[in-house]
Amino acid sequence: MEDFSKLGFLKSGSISEGFVVRIGENIPLESLRIGDFIVIEGKIYKFFGIVDDLKILSGSDEIFFDPPVSEIEKLAVKGNIVFSEAQISPYIMVDNSSHNVHSIKTMPEHFSIARQAQEEDLELIFKRQAKIPFYIGSPLTMKEKIHVDLEKLCMRNNGIFGITGSGKTMLAKIIFSGMIKNNIASLLIFDMHNEYGRFAKGEGVITPALKTFFTNKVKVFDVSTKNKDADEYIRIPLKYIEPEDLSLISSALYYSEKSGETAFIVAKKKGRNWLKYLFSLQEKSEEEITEEAQVLGVNGASLSALSRHTTQLRRLTFLEDTEEESGIDAILSYLRNGVSVVVQFSEEYANSPLAYFLVSNVISRRIHKRYESLTEDEREKRRIIIVIEEAHKFLSTDLREGNIFGIIAREMRKFNVTLFIIDQRPSGIDPEVLSQVGTRFTLQLLDDSDIDAVFQGVGGGARLKKILRSIEPQQALLFGYAVPMPVAMRVRSFDEEFFREISESKEDPSEGIKDLYG
């Protein structure tokens, strides 16, 4: 096979607008694609960039009046009259002597050789620079490995974005497995579709998940006692529920802004028993509720409506009028002791937005309160990463005020608590929160508003959009704090090789996989 690694030479360009490479006449243009890694060899530095555009040009239009027909005729004019160019976006430069990595501050001279990146280039950039390198995928047209720095990934908020079917869940499992394997953070995963616990079931196939790989490092909780695979079950005392928790689920409860205001007044007057009090009103007549409203100083109709709206909460069997410790206290204890927790929603709570939003909100709010009260030494003991799916429903601009997830994204990094959001509609997320996302794993997106949202506040976003538009399922554009430069990649396979590599189970992984697949 012919080697096309040497592409051509630097023709022109600038630091701000990128480099233009004249492609060698022996290089088939179709061997290049948007997102390819390119290295330009300077005298002092190597310059690393990405192809963001390809062009075919001609020195004269006269050739097209009588275009060449045979291959020999085409070769005769190629490189002289007709030629090809690649637009390269440069991102970093590496000192040829020290191998230190720098942002682009200068540029190479005319005729500097441009070539495709090789294995040693990728290892230098993505692996040697990382404190805890973790293999996550390969460049789109290469077999070599791309590594992400898990240490940096755990230090800031992160996000996985992509349409349904693009591969978000598989990518998330790979990343979370790396974090748990390297013991650098405790994960609290609110698992809306039960895909991260012991097994994941979908389209007639059962695949292993985090509990299968890390028997002693992962605990599975469920709000439904019918899930016999769960290690423990969640019971939430009514006294743990605050009016702010209901604000997030107001649409599911069908109550208005006025009802929300009434809830805050009731909570102020009745204290931690406010929700129990609202439940009791459901047994009273309208006349009795009107009398209660006068005592509280609220509108009778609003109090009655609020009581009716909370009827759905009364049907949630995991909400209990108890003084005993709840599953939440056990979750907090596990997280602080280095055990990751997957919270699932099975059986009667499968696909229940009300249960998912309420439970995730209540638990996250208590983590926020607990960690705010810790000393600096206590906070340093363990990082916690809170994972939420359908993030746009938690983090919309409409829910900005008092939103615990927005608070965590903006303020909790100093307490070693960060957010990992997974979402198919990033345009629905508050831009202020998106600006706090340090590393973005962006899979296939089709809506222009979602694409624009992903690159909000990102330097060079216009160039990266071209690459993202070429992304296919199981591919991702990775950029941000945990990698030295953007990279378009094929996500590594979530297969038996990965299972054996990552698993800490005492059982033979191959036997476990045979059992799973029958």
Q: Decide if pLDDT at 30 tops 50.
A: yes
Pick the residue with more confidence: 490 or 382? 490
Distances (CA, A) of 206 to 52, 261, 409, 505: 39, 46, 34, 18
As a whole number of angstroms, the distance between CA 438 and CA 158 comes to 6
Task: Provide the token pair at 448.
Answer: 């222009």
Write the DSSP string, 173-200. Answer: HHHHHHHHHTT--EEEEEETTS-SSSEE
| Whole-number pLDDT of residue 510 | 45
Mean pLDDT over 502-507 rounds to 72
Q: Decide if pLDDT at 462 tops 50.
A: yes
Write the DSSP string, 289-329. Answer: HHHHHHHHTS-HHHHHHHHHHTHHHHT-TTEE---S--HHH
Using a pLDDT cut of 90, give the percent of the chain over it: 54
The residue written with tokens 């909370």 in the block is 310
pLDDT tens by residue, 466-484: 899 999 999 999 999 999 9
Residues 282, 430, single domain; the answer is no
Mean pLDDT over 373-386 rounds to 76
pLDDT tens by residue, 153-207: 999 999 999 999 999 999 999 999 999 999 999 999 999 989 999 888 766 678 8
Mean pLDDT over 242-247 rounds to 83
The CATH number of the domain holding residue 485 is 3.40.50.300
pLDDT tens by residue, 303-358: 998 888 888 888 899 998 887 767 888 898 999 899 999 999 999 998 888 899 89
Residues 427, 370, single domain; the answer is yes
As a whole number of angstroms, the distance between CA 505 and CA 510 comes to 11
Asked whether residue 127 is domain-assigned, the answer is no
Provide CB contacts within 8 A for 24, sequence distance 6+: 6, 7, 8, 79
402: region left, alpha or beta (phi > 0 left; psi from -120 to 50 alpha): left
**Would you call 4 helix, strand, or coil by DSSP?**
coil
Q: Decide if pLDDT at 255 tops 60.
A: yes
Residues 298, 340, single domain; the answer is no
Pick the residue with more confidence: 251 or 226? 226
Q: Given 117, 137, 169, which residue is the final one in a domain? A: 117
As a whole number of angstroms, the distance between CA 172 and CA 210 comes to 11
Residues 92, 106, single domain; the answer is yes
Mean pLDDT over 296-309 rounds to 89
User: Which structural domain, as residue segments, surrounds residue 461?
Assistant: 147-233+334-517
| Whole-number pLDDT of residue 3 | 52
As a whole number of angstroms, the distance between CA 281 and CA 175 comes to 47
Residues 112, 255, single domain; the answer is no
Residues 359, 407, single domain; the answer is yes
Residues 308, 362, single domain; the answer is no
**Would you call 417 helix, strand, or coil by DSSP?**
strand
Mean pLDDT over 377-385 rounds to 76
Average pLDDT in the chain: 88
| Whole-number pLDDT of residue 248 | 75
| Whole-number pLDDT of residue 325 | 67
Q: Decide if pLDDT at 1 tops 60.
A: no
Residues 32, 174, single domain; the answer is no
Q: Given 102, 117, 132, which residue is the final one in a domain? A: 117
Mean pLDDT over 228-244 rounds to 89
Phi, psi values for residue 56, rounded to 5°: -115, 130
Asked whether residue 124 is domain-assigned, the answer is no
Q: Decide if pLDDT at 448 tops 90.
A: yes
Residues 104, 182, single domain; the answer is no
pLDDT tens by residue, 382-425: 789 999 998 888 787 776 666 788 888 888 888 889 999 999 99
Asked whether residue 321 is domain-assigned, the answer is no
Residues 216, 346, single domain; the answer is yes
Asked whether residue 135 is domain-assigned, the answer is no
pLDDT tens by residue, 40-99: 999 999 999 999 999 999 888 888 888 888 888 788 788 788 899 999 999 999 999 999
Residues 301, 210, single domain; the answer is no
Please count the structural domains in the chain: 3
pTM, full prediction: 0.89
Q: Decide if pLDDT at 494 tops 70.
A: yes
Asked whether residue 339 is domain-assigned, the answer is yes
Residues in the chain, total? 518
As a whole number of angstroms, the distance between CA 514 and CA 518 comes to 6
Asked whether residue 245 is domain-assigned, the answer is yes
Asked whether residue 347 is domain-assigned, the answer is yes
Q: Decide if pLDDT at 379 tops 70.
A: no
Write the DSSP string, 30-96. Answer: GG--TT-EEEEE-SSEEEEEEEEEEEEEES-GGGGTS---SHHHHHHHBTTTEEEEEEEEEEEEEET
Asked whether residue 132 is domain-assigned, the answer is no
Residues 457, 399, single domain; the answer is yes
| Whole-number pLDDT of residue 516 | 45
pLDDT tens by residue, 125-141: 999 988 999 999 999 98
Mean pLDDT over 222-237 rounds to 91
| Whole-number pLDDT of residue 509 | 47
